Amino acid sequence: MSKQINVALIGNPNTGKTSVFNALTGLNQKVGNYPGITVEKKEGICKLPRGVKAHIIDLPGTYSLNASSLDENVVIELLLNKNDKDFPDIAVVVSDVENLKRNLLLFTQIKDLEIPTLLVINMADRMNYKGISLDIDYLEEHLQTKIALISTRKNTGIDNLKSLIANYKDISITPCLSASEIDKEYFDNLRKAFPNQLLYKLWLVITQDVNFGKTDRNEIDAVADFKTKSKSDLKRLQQKETIKRYQFINNVLKIGQTIDASQAKDLRSKFDRVLTHKVWGYVIFAIILLTIFQAIYDWAELPMDFIDNIFASLSEWTKNALPKGAFTSLLAEGIIPGLSGIVIFIPQIAFLFLFIAILEESGYMSRVVFLMDRIMRRFGLSGKSVVPLISGTACAIPAIMATRNIESWKERLITILVTPFTTCSARLPVYLIIISLVIPQGRFIGLSYQALTLMLLYLIGFGTAVFSAYLLNKILKIKSKSFFVVEMPNYKLPLFKNVALTVIEKTKSFVFGAGKIILAISIILWFLASYGPGEQFNNAEEIVKTEYSSDNLTEEELQHKIASHKLEHSFIGITGRAIEPTIRPLGYDWKIGIAIVSSFAAREVFVGTLATIYSVGNDDEDTIKNRMAGEVNPILGGPLFTFASGISLLLFYAFAMQCMSTLAIVKKETNSWKWPILQLVIMTAFAYIVALIAFQFLK
């Protein structure tokens, strides 16, 4: 049986920590949450030399062990608690060769915890370009560690890194410097009061709001022999500690690192002048967005049509190949159409994640955050709010979790409340199917009307979020101050492996997350649509034959009438009829009403629901799009999905809070039901009014 060791991957943001994690684990990784909190937890398995397995945990990015957010607390609490099942046998600190001085602050702090700490210097391929040379032997000797010089871009040094991790017992646990010299008397008293505890751990417990095994701050304060300091004195000591560490780091790097400024070829400032320009910056961003939405349509058209036809054929084959009965009906009319309603959108969702990953990997997304800060400040937000708002294009749940980096509670609360207006990938299936039905084909200056409509919906969502933030900033009487600090990483060509892993992981997460919900709802909907109470459902065949006896219907037409009558008087039909008066003014029928109600579980369920409802009792081999296009408005006649009803539906989904999971996460993040309930009521009412006005005006 091979031995398994725990490896904690730690580092500042933008040091390439994720690239190192991907290089070590490949596809052997999973994403979850830390127990009891919503901070994302990435972990994976890596095979090391001599049959050793490494369980690698990619911890949230942090600049130091002086935590200022919940993400950073996660790092400290793991490093302090030896009883945690994930407590590391070795800490791997990832640094960036261009920002070594800043990255080493965190490294020297972790060394004081007497955990074997390995220093990884990433982006080694940029050393010649930036005129940097390192004396690795000197650095290893004075930092009391082993150093792995790697480039995840060129895939160099990875094998050496694995070997050093496997031989972690050879790494010294001696601290780099004696931080206790900042106040010798205070630390001597602390050591005497707790002779069996590690001094630096005690210092972190005193200065941070974190858990540390069985020892907490109250216990330290309660010890008679030890007198703790005031908060202001502790803050001054922390500043002294940071200064002392940087003095040590500067002395080591004076000899261990040489930078030849004449060799540095820096195009970054030239790019920044254009990409963050107060006019051209926004123009370039708009062009990038237009290109993305056009590509989502053009590139995905063929694979989507292929998937749609495959599922239609599979449903038809199931009906013909399997014996008639409830199970065959469930498969052909419930599960297969329901799943097709999500699988068909894999190409477009994958392309969306692809573009987002490329923008993040290249370093451009940080420029967008900086650029948008100019606008955001006018609406009571900071540039940091852009990160959740942009993340919301993938999913509102991690986007709301990302607000933890916003120090001001007022800004954080406003960002949490408005983020669900941002168009998430779950809305994408609804938008795409409705746009394809009601927006005509055609192009304007090379851009399709459908792509322009999609981009307009994204802009409407973002604009509504920003305007809502402005109103909330005026309404909420919460005093708070904040400072906007954003790091501008270097521009770099996106790593194919990182982009591919991001697209695969996020698409897989979306499909399986939505797939489980859709599968369950499809089975429930099929049952509700296939059975019903009373004579009208049970004697549907006799009733329809009697009603249309003089119309000389063909057998196919008669069967279609019977199926429609049964559906109308099934459990789902009765429920739909009950809610129809509420939604009819918006241009919807009872079937769309059922889809709207069921999609509260997850927005993307809308298409799967309609696919299931339209498939029940239908023997035709047809695609979802064709079935929806063929639906007739029961009141007005003609197609159900017209320009007016389509725009109404698009606007309803643009503004409505149609996501149970998002409400749950808002409750968790705000620690109150007040805010999610207000969100649900206000957003749904606003969506209803806008959709009503749009339909009545356009019809």
How sure is the predictor about 148, in pLDDT bands with cuts at 50, 70 and 90?
very high
Q: What is the CA radius of gyration of the chain?
A: 30
Lowest mean pLDDT among 3-17, 95-109, 182-196, 215-229: 215-229
Here the CATH number for the domain that contains residue 188 is: 3.40.50.300
**Does 235 lie in the same domain as 316?**
no
pLDDT in tens, 344-388: 778 877 887 788 788 878 888 778 877 877 777 777 776 667 767
pLDDT at 16: 82
CA dist., res. 327 & res. 324, Å (int):
8
- Does some domain include residue 522? yes
**Does 410 lie in the same domain as 328?**
yes
CA dist., res. 319 & res. 315, Å (int):
6
pLDDT at 379: 78
Average pLDDT score, the chain: 80
The CA–CA distances, whole Å, from 692 to 152, 578, 687, 699 equal 53, 19, 8, 11
Written as one letter, the residue type at 51 is: G
**Does 143 lie in the same domain as 34?**
yes
- Does some domain include residue 294? yes
pLDDT surpassing 50 at residue 607: yes
How sure is the predictor about 35, in pLDDT bands with cuts at 50, 70 and 90?
very low
- Does some domain include residue 444? no
**Does 126 lie in the same domain as 7?**
yes
**Does 502 lie in the same domain as 390?**
no
pLDDT at 681: 93
How sure is the predictor about 38, in pLDDT bands with cuts at 50, 70 and 90?
very low
**Does 630 lie in the same domain as 555?**
yes
For the stretch 327-351, what's the b/e string if a residue is b when 16 or more beta carbons lie within 10 angstroms of its beta carbon? eebbbbbbbbbbbbbbbbbbbbbbb
**Does 112 lie in the same domain as 8?**
yes
Written as one letter, the residue type at 18 is: T
- ∠ at Cα 320 (314, 322), nearest 5°? 90
Looking at per-residue pLDDT, the higher value among 490 and 456 belongs to: 456
CA dist., res. 440 & res. 296, Å (int):
17
- Does some domain include residue 636? yes
Q: With helix as H, strand as E and coil as C, how does 449-511 read? A: HHHHHHHHHHHHHHHHHHHHHHHHHHHCCCCCCCCCCCCCCCCCCCCHHHHHHHHHHHHHHHH
- Does some domain include residue 433? no
SS3 54: strand
First and final CA of the chain: distance in angstroms?
71
pLDDT surpassing 80 at residue 172: yes
Number of domain units in the chain: 3
Q: Give the structural domain span for 592.
A: 497-698
| % of the chain exceeding 90 in pLDDT | 16
- Does some domain include residue 613? yes
**Does 254 lie in the same domain as 161?**
yes
pLDDT at 238: 84
144: alpha, beta or left, given left = phi > 0 and alpha = psi -120 to 50?
Answer: left
**Does 186 lie in the same domain as 70?**
yes
- Does some domain include residue 649? yes
- Mean pLDDT along residues 124-135: 83
Show which of 264, 289, 319 is a domain's final residue. Answer: 264
Show which of 240, 264, 288 is a domain's final residue. Answer: 264
pLDDT in tens, 293-332: 777 767 877 888 888 788 888 888 888 888 888 888 888 8
Bridge-partner residues for 44, per DSSP?
A: 29, 56
Number of alpha helices (DSSP H) and beta strands (DSSP E) in the chain: 32, 11
CA dist., res. 381 & res. 364, Å (int):
21
For the question of whether the overall pTM of this predicted structure is more than 0.75, the answer is no
| DSSP E strands, 50-146 | 53-58, 90-96, 117-122, 132-134
pLDDT at 514: 63
pLDDT surpassing 80 at residue 17: yes
Show which of 264, 295, 325 is a domain's final residue. Answer: 264
- Mean pLDDT along residues 145-155: 89
**Does 311 lie in the same domain as 170?**
no
CA dist., res. 202 & res. 215, Å (int):
9
pLDDT in tens, 467-513: 998 898 888 877 655 555 566 677 778 878 778 887 887 777 767 76
Burial of 45 (0-12, 13-18, 19+ CB in 10 A): middle
**Does 351 lie in the same domain as 222?**
no
pLDDT in tens, 254-282: 998 888 765 555 667 788 888 888 888 88
**Does 293 lie in the same domain as 215?**
no
pLDDT at 34: 36
- Does some domain include residue 467? yes
